Amino acid sequence: MTKYLLGIDGGGSKTDFLICDLEFNEVARRIATRSNPNDIGIDAVESLLRENILALLAESKIDADEVSAAFAGIAGLTSSDYSSRVRNLLSRLLPSARVDALHDGINVLYGAFPYGDGVSVICGTGSSCFVKRGDEIKRIGGYGSFDMIGNGYEIGKAAIAHAVKTIDGREKEGLLEVLLHESLGADFLVALDKLLIASKDEIARFAPTVFEAAKGGDAAALDILGKNMEYIASLINRAGDYFKGDYEVAIAGGILRSEISLQLLTQYINDRAHLVTSDRAPAFGAVAKAKSLTA
């Protein structure tokens, strides 16, 4: 008899595996490393999922046939054929389960609105926006490097881009450059070779420096954050076209935990959008999405 649900929340820093019973009571949990296929490759993602799903089942003494549904929401999964590969893997590991695999934004969406409609926005290493209306899900923005700012990587990259312009006097130095010098421990030109080959995670680590400079009133830092939050607001405002009246927007990710980000964001969003935070972990949202597959 099938009696368990599996939810997986994967991002640029960690992957959360959660097994619940059919009433959403937590049964077992396991945390693993990052799982964005654009960062580590889809083969590595499949290996990580296989290893941790099997380990979680063994630790909780749950037979694979007892899992009725599983959903994996993983950042970057909508690129290429990644989603289908993960679906196939889940089907092989959990032969009695209904399965699906999509973007990790779905986890935030179902975590905040397991039974109702709403909007989710994630601003972490990457950014995304999804709308839930009934059984229909719509994606807005976040299409890779062609259309994705409002996240740690882009904020860090913009800070470095500004800093190198101060070398030849195209832009004025300020607190942001002072803090970046301290963080890099080297002249910008000396550090440039390493920065050019740095991963998205490594570039995103400069985002907190931008927030620190913004708190100190640095004009360049405030401008960078303002442009990024204006982009996120444009996603939220477009989402409003799917609703006749007011609508709730569940926000998640490190960038939107900052008071400065929220202050800037509220300057650009429309009056009908109401920002909320969910007490539920995104992995719970993945479990809720898994439950919806059995309806």
Q: Calculate the alpha carbon distances from 192 to 179, 187, 198, 268 in Å.
A: 16, 9, 10, 34
The pLDDT value given to residue 1: 60
Pairing of strands 67-74, 98-102: parallel
**What's the whole-number average pLDDT of the chain?**
92
Collapsing DSSP to helix, strand or coil, 168 comes out as coil
**pLDDT above 90 for 7:** yes
The pLDDT value given to residue 184: 83
| Domains in the chain with CATH codes | 4-103 (3.30.420.40), 116-278 (3.30.420.40)
Residue 98, strand partner residues: 69
Collapsing DSSP to helix, strand or coil, 205 comes out as coil
Q: Calculate the alpha carbon distances from 1 to 62, 63, 96, 282 in Å.
A: 11, 10, 9, 27
User: 185-206 pLDDT, tens per residue?
Assistant: 767 788 888 888 998 888 999 9
Secondary structure (DSSP) of 13-82: SEEEEEEEETT--EEEEEEEE---HHHH-HHHHHHHHHHHHHHHHHHHT--GGGEEEEEEEETTTTSTTH
Overall average pLDDT of the 66-73 stretch? 97
The pLDDT value given to residue 89: 98
- Sequence-distant (6+) residues with CB within 8 A of 32 are 14, 15, 17, 48, 51, 52
